[in-house]
Structure 1
Amino acid sequence: MYDIAIIGAGPAGASAALITAKAGKKTLVIDSDKSVTKRAWIENHYGVLEISGPDLVAIGKKQAAKFGAELKEGVVVNVTKSDSGFRLETEDGASYEAAHVVLATGMLTDLAEKIGVRTKPGTEPRIKTVFDVDADGKTNIPGIWAAGTAAGVSMHTIITAGDGAKVAFNIVSEINGERYVDHDVLKS
């Protein structure tokens, strides 16, 4: 049983996983390796002079794994309510249980529509549909959250990564019952 299962390991998903795993929450990331970021060249990401999308995605996964997030490659085909949260099923027949689910599926909204997550028209160019989320990243299904492009924020990696972090901080805060912060300081 995982505290949090994140579907997608692009900037939003990997950023969320980094935060939740570093907070000590048992985190699973299931990624289909279809991130649109893997086709990008990026020169507008704060703190990075320039980077290829594949490198950014690889570093994000490595950061999440450093703090204990478990990464699995696969395609989630269904999410159903269970006694303790949610059961995620992949197309290869694997299943996982988690108390919270984060949809960080980029431009892909089919799964969410299948499981009953409300959607609305997107406002970004080429993004037709996004998940209908509140300011914290919550969907209409308690325990299912969404982050990044699929949640209606700009496709720019700096913004989707920030949105993934925001949603992760909100989930950890909800689990802990108080506002969670994580401020590292320079080592002397």
Structure 2
Amino acid sequence: MASKEHQNLIFTYGTLKRGFPNHALMANLIRSGDVTFRGEYTTVDAYPLVCGPYGIPYLINLPGSGVRVKGELYAVTDSGIVPMDELEGVEAGHYERLPLIVAAGDGGGGGPEGTVAAEAYFAHRSFGEGLWKRCGGVGTGEFTTEMASEYQRKEERPPGFNFLKDLKLFISGVE
């Protein structure tokens, strides 16, 4: 049997982390050999990390804004990236997978030798900056278990839930 190539490095900062609501997907992919946990990492650049409606975390692609974000790094096969993209709604315009640089641990070790190029799921560009402004330009450096307690899984959200519509209403101040 040929070994699977883990050619995608994915930085997770929210519900996919160990001990968080959507980590079961990662655990299944680890069992199938499509994902390998690489460790705890921190973004080299500062980024906004905010929570929107239903406690959903969003990393906003505005490097230099916000703070350095803590998360986890995973090596993922091409076949493993498919269910991750599906969960994150990449084709539906919910998130987009974009490059960033992360450093091992809290990133305090300094030096480029501890950094690695990866990708993360960022809030889609069609609403990311608006979401950052709606949250008052205030973010956090880590999606915590306390924040995750506000997260509502799809099946827990109200009937008629529409991700993009509800998000746009939130951004406009109508909740």
TM class by shorter-chain length? under 0.3
Normalised by the size of structure 2, how large is the TM-score? 0.25
Greater RCO (CA < 8 Å, at least 6 residues apart): 2
